[in-house]
A and B are shown apart, each in its own frame.
Chain A
Amino acid sequence: MLRYTLRRLLQMIPVLIGATLLIYIMVFALPGDPVQALFGQRAPNPNVVAQIRANYHLDKPFLVQYLYFLKGLATGDFGMTFSGQPVLDIIARVFPTTIKLAFIAVVFEMVLGIFVGVIAGIRKGKIFDSTVLMLSLVVIAIPTFVLGFIGQFVFGLQLSWLPATARDASLYSLLMPGMVLGGVSLAYVIRLTRTSVVENLTADHVRTARAKGLSGVRVTTFHVLRNSLVPVVTFLGADLGTLMGGAIVTENIFSVDGVGHTLYDAIIRQEGTTVVSIVTLLVIVYIFANLAVDLLYAVLDPRIRYA
Chain B
Amino acid sequence: MTSRRHKTLLAGAAITASLSLALSGCGSGSGSDSAEGNNIISVNNGEPQNPLIPTSTNEVNGGKVIDALFAGLVSYEPDGSTKNEVAKSIKSKDSKTFHITLKKGWKFTNGEKVTAHSFVDAWNYGALASNAQLAANFFSPIKGYEDVNPSGKGKKPTAKKMSGLKVQDDYHFTVTLSSPQSDFPMRLGYSAFFPLPQKAYKDMKAFGNHPIGDGPYKLDGKDAWQHNKQISVVKNDQYDGNREPKNEGIDFRIYTNIDAAYADVQDGALDLVDMIPESALKTFKDNSSTKAYSKPGSVFQSFTIPGRLKHFSGKEGRLRRQAISMAINRKQITKAIFQGTRTPATDFTAPPLEGYSKNLKGADVLKYQPAKAKKLWKKANQISKWTGQFKLGYNSDDPHKQWVDAVSHQLTNTLGIKASGAPVATFSQFRSEITSRKIDHPFRSGWQGDYPSIGNYLVALYSSGAADGNGSNDGDYKNKAFDQKVKEAASAKTPEQGIKDYQAAEEILLKDLPAIPLWYENVSGASTKTLKHVQFDWKNVPVYYNITKS
Contacts and interface: CB of A to CB of B under 8 A. Distances in A.
Interface in A33-49: 33-34, 36-48
A106 B132 CA distance: 46
Given A36-B431, A257-B228, A45 B27 contact: no
Contact of B255 (A41, A45, A255): A255
A296 B13 CA distance: 11
Contacts of A269: 428
A251 B256 contact: yes
A293 B425 CA distance: 38
B256 A82 contact: no
Q: Is the interface of A mostly helix, strand, loop or mixed?
A: helix
B130 A31 contact: no
Contacts of A150: none
A152 B466 CA distance: 48
B426 A38 contact: no
B11 interface: yes
Interface stretch (B45-53, B354-362, B529-537): B45-53
A169 B29 contact: yes
A43 B469 contact: yes
A285 B23 contact: yes
A33 B263 CA distance: 34
Contacts of A31: 424-425, 429, 432
Nearest to A254: B260
B229 interface: yes
A44 B263 contact: no
Interface in A4-57: 30-34, 36-48, 50-52, 55
Nearest to B131: A51
Contacts of B253: 167
B470 A165 contact: no
A163 B431 contact: no
B57 to A, nearest CB: 10
A236 to B, nearest CB: 9
Of residues B134, B397, B432, which shows the largest number of chain A Cβ atoms within 10 Å of its Cβ?
B134
A140 interface: no
Interface string B453-496: 00000001000001001111000000000000000000000000
A69 interface: no
A233 B12 contact: yes
Contacts of B431: 32-33, 36-37, 39-41
Nearest to B471: A43
A190 B48 CA distance: 44
B432 A157 contact: no
Interface residues of A, number: 73
Interface in B222-257: 227-229, 253-257
Interface stretch (B14-22, B115-123, B180-188, B335-343): B14-22
Given A96-B24, A251-B256, A164 B50 contact: no
A43 B466 contact: yes
Given A41-B472, A222-B2, A233-B12, A92 B50 contact: no
Contacts of B259: 253
B446 A41 contact: yes
Interface stretch (B104-112, B170-178, B264-272, B410-418): B264-272
Contacts of A52: 132
Contacts of B32: 168, 170
A252 interface: yes
Interface in A149-163: 152, 156-157, 160, 163
Interface in B15-64: 15-16, 19-20, 22-25, 27-29, 31-33, 47-51, 58-59
B149 A40 contact: no
Interface stretch (A70-78, A83-91, A122-130, A202-210): A83-91
A238 interface: no
A128 B460 CA distance: 69
Contacts of B269: 163-165
A168 B31 contact: yes
B445 interface: yes
B256 A261 contact: yes
A63 to B, nearest CB: 23
A279 interface: no
Interface centre among A168, A233, A256, A296 (most CB of B within 10 A): A168
B227 A85 contact: yes
A202 B269 CA distance: 55
A288 interface: yes
Nearest to B226: A93
B51 to A, nearest CB: 4
B29 A93 contact: yes
A157 B446 contact: no
Given A32-B430, A48-B132, A268-B397, A157 B263 contact: yes
A254 to B, nearest CB: 6
Interface string B146-184: 000111011101000000000000000000000000000
A221 interface: yes
Identify the 3 closest CB pairs spanning chains A and B, nearest first: A32-B429, A37-B428, A47-B129
7 contacts: A36-B428, A37-B431, A164-B260, A167-B254, A168-B33, A169-B29, A240-B16
Given A41-B445, A93-B227, 11 more contacts: A32-B429, A50-B154, A83-B47, A83-B49, A92-B27, A103-B16, A164-B263, A167-B260, A168-B31, A170-B32, A285-B23
